[in-house]
Chain A
Amino acid sequence: MQDARKIRVLIAKPGLDSHDRGAKVVARALRDAGMEVIYTGLRQTPEQIAETALQEDVDVIGLSILSGAHKTIFPRIMELLKKQGLTDVMVFAGGIIPEEDVSEMKKLGIKEIFGPGTTTEEIIQYVMHNLPKRD
């Protein structure tokens, strides 16, 4: 049985860029859909993201990046999550991530990449249907 607790989502914004419009819209949409959303603000280091995910016991992490540094930053985040034993957390990402980088990002364990033009409803549905099972 899915426990009664709300789905806990960390919306994290790694990289130096400050385009948080999308991250905030997604955070608010997930919150309005009944999830518990933690948004930690701009320029989070991979270490901070992994630490918050652990401390907040989240089910899902949404990463948003528009600076083009995803190829450097995402592998580091995924590595740290693994180190923390957070392999059951579902990670998705959004922002400006070129088509040709998507498969490389997915190989890291990122479940889905949402590009520009994605509706908030698509993200909500995706999270609900791909939620990791908890013990």
Chain B
Amino acid sequence: MYDQKKMDELKKERVRWEQTTLPNWTKQCSERKREFRNTSNMPIKRLYTPEDVEEIDYVRDLGFPGEYPFLRGVHATMYRGRFWTMRQFSGFGTAEQTNKRFKYLLKEGETGLSIAFDYPTIMGYDSDHPMGKGEVGICGVAISSLKDMQALLDGIPLDKVTTSMTINGPAAMLLAMYVAVGDKQGVSREKLGGTTQNDNLKEYFAQKLCIYPPKSSVKLTTDIIEYCSRHLPKWNPISISGYHIREAGANALQELAFTIYDGISYVESTLQRGLRVDDFAHRLSFFFASHNDFFEEIAKFRAARRLWAKLMKERFHAKNPRSMWMRMHVQTSGCTLTAQQPLNNITRTTIQALAAVLGGTQSLHTNSFDEALALPSEEAVRVALRTQQIIAHESGATNTIDPVAGSYYIEALTNEMEQKAMEYIQRIDDLGGAIAAIEKGFFQKEIVDSSYKYQKEIDEKKRTIVGVNDYQIQKEKYPIKLLRVDPNVEKEQVASLQKLRKTRDNRKAEETLGKLQHSAEKDENLMPAIIEAIKAYATLGEICYVLRKVYGEYKELIII
């Protein structure tokens, strides 16, 4: 990017500075630490100069927004055209209660829905299953059947609002419910827009809400990708998720590399169905965390976009530029929130959200300041949403595209992130791919080691967390009002479910479950049979039980 003569001059000047000006300062005041590193354990230099980006060829490596390699953004106008989607993950109690929260958020300016399901739903159990005792409606909304889904989406026009569903093992069932509600509203399937998380690989080493063994889960994931490519053209069948990898303890680099590797695996599993890469790759979407190290996060998002574009072009020979787009959702990092002095979390979230915006995200969730203590209160979730609105409208960060590009530090870090992620990808290829790496405990070990190291740094005060290991307040009082889920939710939900089982056409429900089992045994794409069962009001637990019988249940590989 620079001519040789100028570079030689710069090098000479840098050496001169290091030998003359710098020692005068370090003599008086030595640096705070002997070495500075980011969470990915990359050493951070004192100063970045054009020397660090000497190799960059602007047109080849950065290019223009909306064009390969998409480093500067997937859209040519980015936030000058349209802001990211402001999408707050929410759900608690009964479907009716969450429906109210959804309407509140839409009224306050939210532009997309995001459903949080409770643990029994996520694990494929009905609300009256003994494993779910005490958990119904607590960490999300309880959805056991189409009847609940109808109540959840009541009065919400599915042709106007897009909906993201954080659901993996039972993703096919919840998507089937969404399709069925759309049918009832008279919205054609071509118009249904939204996302199912449906990333089952990361479950085995990050989110760990697994139902079936890995191969069967990947089969279900691929069924949805295949089905959507044929019938739901506006649906993102998968959100390939680094967020949970990060929250489980991985560092930024591991999050980047493992997520991209999962993406590679889903492309491969879908190609094996006989689809061409350009038939489906444009609908694959991604989901990352935004943690505290501002520049490391920005570099991670940018590197992710360029690396994915290169892989799609070079490894999978995609022709359609849209297949090379990495569209991403970002959530600020839950594990950085502190229970101590919770209002400080607003500041943390703001920094993280700004990193996501400077990183070029398409969609964003900002955490609420009270989330280290409980599910967010209405006030806390409003402040979180307002944080996004302030960044969008007041900060000026959205007035030009990719404003941090060309920073010596950012570009050097972006390059390093990408190179190191490629090294991980090579290692996982050598292990035999994602499932083999899971079975060998590779990801699990990498993540527990990073998480232990991070905690040790906090415990030993090598890493300062404001309000936790420094700047504490003794005998802190919590003036904030926390959300408590109504303890009667479980009783109401169980009663409603039992009523459904009495009033539906049981013969029809059983017939569709029998068909589903047959379809699973024949290894067909299960989406049509699941939609049929859902429409007959077979419950989530009943459908998942059929598949538990066919596929078996996953047994955790424990690594500490």
Contact = CB atoms under 8 A, between A and B. Distances in A.
Interface of A: 15-18, 20-21, 24-25, 27-29, 31, 37, 39-43, 45, 67-73, 96, 98-99, 115-117, 119-121
Contacts of B459: 119-121
Given A40-B558, A41-B556, A18 B451 contact: no
Interface in B186-235: 207-209
Interface string B441-456: 0000000100110011
Interface stretch (B6-14, B66-74, B133-141): B133-141
B335 A21 contact: yes
A15 B135 contact: yes
B448 A24 contact: yes
B340 A117 contact: yes
A41 B468 CA distance: 28
A120 B460 CA distance: 10
Interface string B234-278: 000000000000011100000000000000000000000000000
Contacts of B133: 69, 72-73
Contact of B469 (A42, A69, A119): A119
Contacts of B249: 21
Contacts of A18: 207-209
B132 interface: yes
Given A21-B249, A71-B134, A117 B338 contact: yes
Contacts of B372: 96, 116
A112 to B, nearest CB: 16
A39 B338 contact: no
Contacts of B485: 68
14 contacts: A15-B135, A16-B123, A16-B135, A17-B119, A21-B247, A21-B249, A67-B138, A68-B135, A69-B134, A71-B134, A73-B133, A98-B373, A115-B339, A116-B372
Given A16-B123, A16-B131, A16-B135, 5 more contacts: A21-B249, A29-B452, A40-B558, A96-B372, A98-B373
Contacts of A16: 119-120, 122-123, 131-132, 135
Contact of A25 (B132, B338, B451, B558): B451
Interface of B: 119-120, 122-123, 131-135, 138-139, 207-209, 247-249, 335, 338-340, 372-374, 448, 451-452, 455-456, 458-459, 465, 468-469, 478, 482, 485, 556, 558, 560
A85 to B, nearest CB: 25
A68 B143 CA distance: 18
Contact of B339 (A20, A72, A117): A117
Contacts of B131: 16, 43, 45
A41 B340 CA distance: 28
Nearest to A40: B558
A72 B487 CA distance: 11
B335 A72 contact: no
A73 B458 CA distance: 31
Q: Which of A27, A42, A68, A98 has the most CB of B within 10 A?
A: A68
Contacts of B340: 116-117
Nearest to A66: B139
A115 B451 CA distance: 18
Contacts of A72: 133-135
B119 A67 contact: yes
A120 B372 CA distance: 18
A78 to B, nearest CB: 14
A27 B560 CA distance: 7
B482 A98 contact: yes
A72 B131 CA distance: 11
A63 to B, nearest CB: 14
B560 A39 contact: yes
Nearest to B203: A18
A68 B209 CA distance: 16
A82 B291 CA distance: 43
A98 B174 CA distance: 31
Nearest to B461: A119
A116 B338 contact: yes
